[in-house]
Amino acid sequence: MPVSRRVLVGAAGIAVVAVGGGVAWQLARSQTIPNPPPPATPVPPAAAPAPGAPAGDPRFAERALGKPDAPVSVTEWFSLTCPHCARFSRDTMPQIQSQLVDTGKLRYIAGDFPLDQVALTASMVARYLPPDRYWPFCDALLASQDRWAFARNVNSTEEIAKMAALAGMGRETFDKAIADTQLRDWILKRQDEASKVYNIDSTPSFIFNGPAEKNHREAGEQSYDSFAKMVAAAAG
């Protein structure tokens, strides 16, 4: 089974499942198996560190879906507090996963582009999770923005901590994540570089690379059809 944005997330026994068009964390039904079996064809946890990152440090490892040798790659620059990113994740990404990623046509790479301090905190916490829990955690946050990011009189940090706990992260690790100035500075540096190199000024923004096109940028929510056409154009 290919690695998916909606998969079991390990020893915590938690899954991300579709619920009413959204995503929710749910305790796995079986409590007798301490660790679910790994996917048959997992994406390597980090074929290489993300650009500008120290080698071998999992915090900075590339977070990606799909085959490393897929003919086309796309980086989605997104913010976990962006409603447009949330709708794209809910409405378009499942078909991209099944039709393009799982079929070996596309490698899908995460690019942190936090639009505010709350999003930056969430991105830092996500990068402290194992790579196989990264995408489900991000999807869960995107699907529940109204509860942790935009709700009135809510402590966003504590709400993120609750969701991180469901993903198997202890409080000590969470506190370490949100206090990690090296990770914070690295995320912000990459964000600044993306703005300068690719002229990214909004989320979601996508950078397509393939044999026929290099660093092609598209901004805004995309339908599956428009996204698939851009992948085909990059493939040539």
Interhelix angle 156-166/117-126, rounded to 10 degrees, is 20
- The model's pTM is 0.79
Instruction: Give the span between the Cα atoms of 83 and 234, in whole angstroms.
Output: 27
With pLDDT > 90 as the criterion, what percentage of the chain qualifies? 76
Provide CB contacts within 8 A for 40, sequence distance 6+: 1
Per the listing, tokens 């198996």 go with 33
Distance CA 203, CA 76 (A): 9
Q: How far is CA 219 from CA 77, 143, 213, 222, in A?
A: 9, 20, 16, 8
**In this predicted structure, what is the pLDDT of residue 212?**
97
| Contact criterion met (CB below 8 Å) for 139 and 5 | yes
Most confident of 2-6, 33-37, 215-219: 215-219
> For residue 56, what pLDDT band results from cuts at 50, 70 and 90?
confident
Q: What percent helix, strand, coil does the chain show, rounded to 5?
A: 40, 20, 40
Please, what CATH class does the domain formed by 44-235 belong to? alpha beta
The DSSP element (H or E) to which 19 belongs, if any, is: strand 14-19
pLDDT tens, residue by residue, 97-122: 999 999 999 999 999 999 999 999 99
Mean pLDDT, range 23-34, rounded to an integer: 28
Q: Which two tokens stand for residue 175?
A: 């506190």
